[in-house]
Chains A and B, each alone.
Chain A
Amino acid sequence: MDFELGPAADALRVHLRGLIARHLPPDFLGGFTDDPEDLETTRRFCKMLASQGLLTPTWPDEYGGRDASVWEQTVLREEMWAHHEPRGPQYMSLNWVGPAILRFGTEEQKRYHLPKMAGGEALWCQGFSEPDAGSDLASLQTTARPDGDGWVVSGQKIWTSYAQVADWCVLAARTGPPDSRHLGISLFLVPMDRPGIEVRPIRSMLGPHHLNELFLDQVEVRRDELLGQENGGWAVMRGVLAFERVGIARYARADRLLDAVRAAVGGLEAMPPGLRARFARAMVHTRVARLVAYEVIGAQADGHGDDGAAAAARIASVTGDQEVSEVLVEAIGGAVFDSAPAAETHLQAAVEDYWRYSRSATVSAGSVDIQRMIVARSVLNGAT
């Protein structure tokens, strides 16, 4: 037993911190701010990572990767999330769209899409949720009607992150009868400039161009754009969503900000007694969230991932995120109101951003209660 990440991963961490220090502006808080330049920064950062083979390091060499270990990938995710995700919207395609194509795509799809992703040249969005299909995703009703050799898709998606800026969408639509639930869903890889697709932004406290509605009116989709089997979309979603559950290293930003705020206020003992106790426990919970994520990553790498373990790790991660956001804000006090995105107020701006963003942690990518249902099933079936 050895919890060291290994020399390659350690060296990568140092290297990434150097790149972050050199390439990100000092007030950087991610790609979704009011300043359009931030989104440009993420595009440039992705291309720069790509040029060093660091955008998709675990992918096979032939598709733009360099066969790196999952622990190098873990360090990459940690350093990116800890520093406000300078890959911007691309983290999603890297976390799961690419891996899904690798696993379920045709050779042609791999050759076409993966090098673009690996080169930092493609922004993707995920069109799953609908106004009447949130947690109960299997009830989705956007329909793909057979037409010639392909399909014609009509319906509405909602909460589609990054749809305004995306070049491609992984679209879930019903190819089976209306009541076929998870047995009648297919996934398609559709370009966002296809006629019939319309995007409308939804203003939210998560920042501009984050949430969107996606309207699909008679959108033509070709057979070679089908990902996986016809009516087999659910298997693809299940196969890759377990990866997505540990894909965002939330604990890394928590860890970094807890350390920075503790130092900035002069140590735990400078805080009021009740707060310092909660702050210290939040640090412990963050360590635990990291360790349970590592357990899942290690098991997935050995080919025995289990849904219950991944969901449990996600519960620890998202509930921890909200707990940390509270103690951070309490520790900095009124400074949270003085959080303009500027270099000299960067820490308070980061805390303010963290608090806002962590509100959605328990909802996005499958609510925490849906994760609880998955853990319960695994506990009661003895598969823990």
Chain B
Amino acid sequence: MNLELPGTVTDFAASAERALRDAGGTALHRHAEEQPGWRGERIGPLLLQLGVADLDPRRDVESALCAAELCRLAGRVALPYPVEAALGCPPVDGARLGALVDRRDAWVEHADLPGPWLGVALDGTARPARPVPTDRNRTLAPFVHRVDLGEPVAEVDEGGRALLMDLPSWRILGALERALELAVAHVKERRQFGRPLAEFQAVQFHLVDAEVAVRGLRQLARFTTWRLVAEPAAAMADALALRSYALESARTVLAVADLLHGALAFCDEHDLTVLTRAVHAPLRLPVDLERTTELLVEAVDRHGFDGLFHHAADGRGGGGRAAGPTLARRS
């Protein structure tokens, strides 16, 4: 058992964090909203400099964690770029593995950037995805595009799909971490009734709800990503568990952050607004909480949900189910 991130991962994350901050942080998102074309020109090269094209998250645990940390940092600044697609995942016919899509209602973030893009359905079939042109401006998730899906051209295995399910949860984690930090800073500074908001127990308990959620999400994200590489047997159940927890946590944390900021929470000039609008994409795509949970239910019935705790009698998942209790129904 070793719960520390490896030094190579923390070093990589530190340099990525510096690069994103020096490039402008959340200002990048504001800029991209005014000039959408600027994403490809400015942010693509920035990520290339960080070496993401050589980062194959399926190679080993360290690479997976580097990729995950990059997604978390992207989430912290609402980076307007398809980070997951920029990673060196095994390419399918040279196309960019875009994202998981719900075939009945397919949307992909940044699908207007040069591809070609593949939309990966939940069953693993990958299809060319072409953005449907639109002249509508959107406030929530401004870079999401409806896509037309072509005929299947490839299959993405369960491990690959689980990864595409896993990484956006790290972006959500980053956004929630940052939203909580903003809320903590705000309640320490803002005074009402003659004292800082932070001194009111009701305010404190809201923060605690958010803190407990973020702590849990961080640990679950690390565990899940480790397991996708180290013990991929139940990869989809694990990735769906992470996603469902990320979506639940987002409801808690964003509600708390909005509430504690007062009216300020909704003003364009505040970073919280940018985070809230940007994180909407990974929160809804490919499927939102209820559908994620249904998929989790199916995956758990198929793979079980042992995790670190093997229910089998031999403690390792090998010897069949423990001679455990059964449910007697007496007539």
Q: B102-110, B138-146, B298-306: which one contacts chain A?
A: B298-306
**B207 and A277 within 8 A (CB):** no
B226 at the interface (CB under 8 A from A): yes
Known A2-B230, A294-B3; contact A316-B311, beta-carbon cutoff 8 A: no
User: Within 8 Å CB of B294, what residues of A?
Assistant: 273, 277
A102 at the interface (CB under 8 A from B): no
Tell which of A2, A268, A288, A345 touches B2, judged by Cβ atoms closer than 8 Å: A2
**Considering only CB atoms, which chain B residue lies closest to A350 in the complex?**
B325
Known A6-B1, A373-B204; contact A292-B219, beta-carbon cutoff 8 A: yes
| Bound-state Cα–Cα, A116 to B321, Å | 37
**B248 and A281 within 8 A (CB):** yes
| Bound-state Cα–Cα, A277 to B303, Å | 17
B51 at the interface (CB under 8 A from A): no
**Considering only CB atoms, which chain A residue lies closest to B245 in the complex?**
A284
User: Within 8 Å CB of A1, what residues of B?
Assistant: 2-6, 9, 61, 65, 222, 226
User: Within 8 Å CB of B227, what residues of A?
Assistant: 3
Tell which of B1, B309, B310, B314 touches A71, judged by Cβ atoms closer than 8 Å: B1
Range for the number of chain A residues in contact with chain B? 35 or more
B99 at the interface (CB under 8 A from A): no
User: Within 8 Å CB of A288, what residues of B?
Assistant: 216-217, 219-220, 245
CB distance from A175 to the nearest CB of B (A): 31
A309 at the interface (CB under 8 A from B): yes
**A344 and B1 within 8 A (CB):** no
A252 at the interface (CB under 8 A from B): yes
| Bound-state Cα–Cα, A360 to B215, Å | 24
B253 at the interface (CB under 8 A from A): no
**B1 and A294 within 8 A (CB):** yes
Tell which of A17, A269, A312, A350 touches B313, judged by Cβ atoms closer than 8 Å: A17
Tell which of B293, B311, B328 touches A348, judged by Cβ atoms closer than 8 Å: B328
B266 at the interface (CB under 8 A from A): no
Task: Annotate A342-360 by CB proximity to B: 1 below 8 A, 0 otherwise.
Answer: 0011111010000000000
**A380 and B325 within 8 A (CB):** no
| Bound-state Cα–Cα, A310 to B61, Å | 27
Task: Annotate B1-21 by CB proximity to A: 1 below 8 A, 0 otherwise.
Answer: 111111001000000000000
CB distance from A313 to the nearest CB of B (A): 8
A38 at the interface (CB under 8 A from B): no
User: Within 8 Å CB of B325, what residues of A?
Assistant: 260, 264, 346-347, 350
| Bound-state Cα–Cα, A348 to B327, Å | 6
B308 at the interface (CB under 8 A from A): yes
**Considering only CB atoms, which chain B residue lies closest to A260 in the complex?**
B324
**B207 and A287 within 8 A (CB):** no
**B1 and A280 within 8 A (CB):** no
CB distance from A135 to the nearest CB of B (A): 13
Classify the interface of chain B: helix, strand, loop or mixed: helix
User: Within 8 Å CB of B300, what residues of A?
Assistant: 262, 268, 280, 283
CB distance from B324 to the nearest CB of A (A): 5
User: Within 8 Å CB of B304, what residues of A?
Assistant: 259
**B327 and A280 within 8 A (CB):** no
**A287 and B211 within 8 A (CB):** no
User: Within 8 Å CB of B327, what residues of A?
Assistant: 261, 264-265, 332, 335, 347-348
User: Within 8 Å CB of B263, what residues of A?
Assistant: none
Query: Which residues of chain A (282-307) have a CB below 8 Å from chain B?
Result: 283-285, 287-292, 294-295, 298
| Bound-state Cα–Cα, A111 to B144, Å | 69
A4 at the interface (CB under 8 A from B): yes
Known A78-B309, A260-B324, A268-B300; contact A380-B241, beta-carbon cutoff 8 A: no
Known A346-B325, A347-B327; contact A14-B315, beta-carbon cutoff 8 A: yes
A10 at the interface (CB under 8 A from B): yes
Tell which of B6, B207, B220, B321 touches A380, judged by Cβ atoms closer than 8 Å: B207
Most chain B C-beta atoms within 10 Å of own C-beta, residue among A283, A284, A285, A350: A284
B208 at the interface (CB under 8 A from A): yes
Most chain B C-beta atoms within 10 Å of own C-beta, residue among A281, A289, A344, A346: A281
A372 at the interface (CB under 8 A from B): yes
A35 at the interface (CB under 8 A from B): no
| Bound-state Cα–Cα, A286 to B322, Å | 20
**A4 and B328 within 8 A (CB):** no
CB distance from A274 to the nearest CB of B (A): 10
**A292 and B311 within 8 A (CB):** no
Known A277-B290, A376-B204; contact A292-B3, beta-carbon cutoff 8 A: no
User: Within 8 Å CB of B65, what residues of A?
Assistant: 1
Query: Which residues of chain A (165-222) have a CB below 8 Å from chain B?
Result: none
| Bound-state Cα–Cα, A284 to B289, Å | 13
| Bound-state Cα–Cα, A71 to B2, Å | 11
**A3 and B324 within 8 A (CB):** no
User: Within 8 Å CB of B315, what residues of A?
Assistant: 10, 13-14, 17
Query: Which residues of chain A (310-339) have a CB below 8 Å from chain B?
Result: 312, 315-316, 332, 335, 338
A364 at the interface (CB under 8 A from B): no
B26 at the interface (CB under 8 A from A): no
| Bound-state Cα–Cα, A384 to B230, Å | 29
Task: Annotate B278-297 by CB proximity to A: 1 below 8 A, 0 otherwise.
Answer: 00000000000010011011
Known A1-B2, A265-B327, A295-B3; contact A376-B208, beta-carbon cutoff 8 A: yes
| Bound-state Cα–Cα, A252 to B309, Å | 8
**A2 and B205 within 8 A (CB):** no
Known A281-B293, A312-B215, A335-B329; contact A269-B222, beta-carbon cutoff 8 A: no
Tell which of B184, B241, B326 touches A347, judged by Cβ atoms closer than 8 Å: B326
Instruction: Known pairs A269-B297, A295-B3; list 19 more (Cβ under 8 Å).
Output: A1-B2, A1-B4, A3-B223, A256-B309, A256-B324, A277-B290, A280-B244, A280-B293, A284-B241, A284-B244, A285-B216, A287-B308, A291-B216, A291-B223, A294-B3, A316-B212, A338-B329, A347-B327, A350-B325
Chosen A-B contacts, 12 in total, with CB atoms closer than 8 Å, are A1-B222, A2-B2, A4-B230, A5-B1, A260-B311, A287-B220, A294-B308, A315-B212, A344-B330, A347-B328, A348-B328, A379-B184
Interface residues of A (CB under 8 A from B): 1-6, 9-10, 13-14, 17, 21, 71, 78, 252, 255-256, 259-265, 267-269, 273, 276-277, 280-281, 283-285, 287-292, 294-295, 298, 309, 312, 315-316, 332, 335, 338, 344-348, 350, 369, 372-373, 375-376, 379-380, 384
